[in-house]
Structure 1
Amino acid sequence: MTQSVLVIGASKGIGLALARHYADAGATVCVISRQNNSAGNAGMHWLQDPLLSEEHSAQVVKHALLYQPDTIFICNGVLHDDKAMPEKTIRQLDTAILADRFLTNVQVPALYLKLLFPYLSKQANVRVLALSAKVGSIGDNALGGWYSYRISKAALNMLVKNLSIEVGRLNKTAAIVSVHPGTTDTALSQPFQQNLPQGQLQTPAATAQRLARVAAGLNAEKTGLLLNWDGTALPW
């Protein structure tokens, strides 16, 4: 049973739903977020990290690890914003937007994983789930498009794979995976919800329940995998 959970990137959407799910289940929940959304979210230890510097983020992570989490979710990610929607063709590719997507989807998770490395290397049976996307699977890509998001999520998957190998040399009990949460009714998916098959769109609470089941079923044999929302392995 999960006793202590750290959720990074939980001011809204799936991250916040995960924090609420575990808090309702009686677990110790610590949240790291750029925005302080502790109001109305009782039962959580809320740490604000505006990502001012690596040194400041290191102090925030050090504080969070005082709760000795056995399960860690990394939920940072952007598909679209007021600057740009996903590209339908490479002719729409803007390298500045690509850099922005890499910052949120890869660099921020990489920073936190770097800071967590000493803990992950020694904490028995620790589980890390980085929220990725099925469209980041190279082997599953049959449609193309969405260049910046696909590229950055594929890079996140490689980051997770690399880290799982390095941590695995030091901690044979660790499980570090990336996971596709499924289509969830959040701001990220709202522009793309039309014509979805019935039952595909999930509430954030339902997605949190599914991801919690995936987390509960993790073990060291699965480390490095890209998992679907139901726990099955997706192709790289």
Structure 2
Amino acid sequence: MSNAVLIIGGGSGIGLALAQYYAASGARVSVISRQPAPQHPKINWLQDNLAAETASADIIAKALTQQPDTIFICNGVLHDASGMPEKTIRQLDSDILAARFASNVQVPAMYLKLLFGYLCKQPQVKLLALSAKVGSIGDNALGGWYSYRISKAALNMLIKNLSIEVGRLNKTAAIVSIHPGTTDTELSAPFQQNLPVGQLQSPDATAKRLASVADRLTAAQSGNLLNWDGNVLPW
């Protein structure tokens, strides 16, 4: 079990459930979020409005004083007021596509850049970026959801690239992207009606499953896209 955990994008949904799970387990927990801090005395909450990379760098530096051995990147958007997932390329909107890349790729990339030095020197450090099975090119048999699929596929490449670079300097690091499974959050709310019985998980259940994967994660798995149960998914 982790002694210290950093959760980036931990203001709601799976990220917040992870923070609460690890705090209840006795770990030192830091959260970076655009959301203001809730009333939770056991969580070191750092608010980042993403106004400037220099400000985000200062916040990362504060979080790393806790020396986390496990880091989760939970930033991501599937839909919002600007648009829902596309059923056809005819619905593709360049502004929405750019917004999905900003949330699902650019924000994680900035944080990973700021974490790079730490990842290269911290022994047995583990980093798990929340991705999605629909971002797997090899697993895609349905099509659709252009902006989300494309941006999550790009996130997976980002993680693969980073794992190679970090691995040259820190052979004990484990850096992966992971599909958390369908979870009862605002992200999945519009798409829950036709799910098979038992597929939808509570945020608390998903947090426990992800923590279990993190606990078993090794450097030999670095660079993979993992399923919520720890099995490798195709790129």
> 2:13 maps to which residue?
13
The CA distance in 2 between the partners of 1:111 and 1:15, in whole Å, is: 18
Deviations 1:44-103 (A, max 9, x none): 000000001010000000000000000000000000001100000000000100000000
TM-fit CA distance, 1:37: 3.1
CA contact (8 A) 2:182 2:199 kept: yes
> 2:100 maps to which residue?
101
CA contact (8 A) 1:38 1:44 kept: no
> 1:37 maps to which residue?
37
Describe the SS at the equivalent of 1:67: coil
TM-fit CA distance, 1:38: 2.4
State percent identity of aligned pairs: 71
User: How many residues are matched?
Assistant: 235
Following TM superposition, the consecutive aligned residue runs of length 4 or more in structure 1 with deviations greater than 3 angstroms are none
RMSD: 0.5
The CA distance in 1 between the partners of 2:81 and 2:106, in whole Å, is: 20
CA contact (8 A) 2:136 2:233 kept: yes
Describe the SS at the equivalent of 2:77: coil
TM-score (norm 1): 0.99
Amino acid at match of 1:56: A
Amino acid at match of 1:36: P
Alignment of 1:52-201 (within 5 A): 52-201=51-200
Amino acid at match of 1:70: D
CA contact (8 A) 2:37 2:46 kept: no
Describe the SS at the equivalent of 1:121: helix
> 1:204 maps to which residue?
203
TM-score (norm 2): 0.99
Amino acid at match of 2:129: A
Deviations 1:113-162 (A, max 9, x none): 00000000000000000000000000000000000000000000000000
Describe the SS at the equivalent of 2:31: strand
The CA distance in 2 between the partners of 1:57 and 1:182, in whole Å, is: 29
Q: Mind listing any 5+ residue stretches in structure 1 that lack a counterpart?
A: none
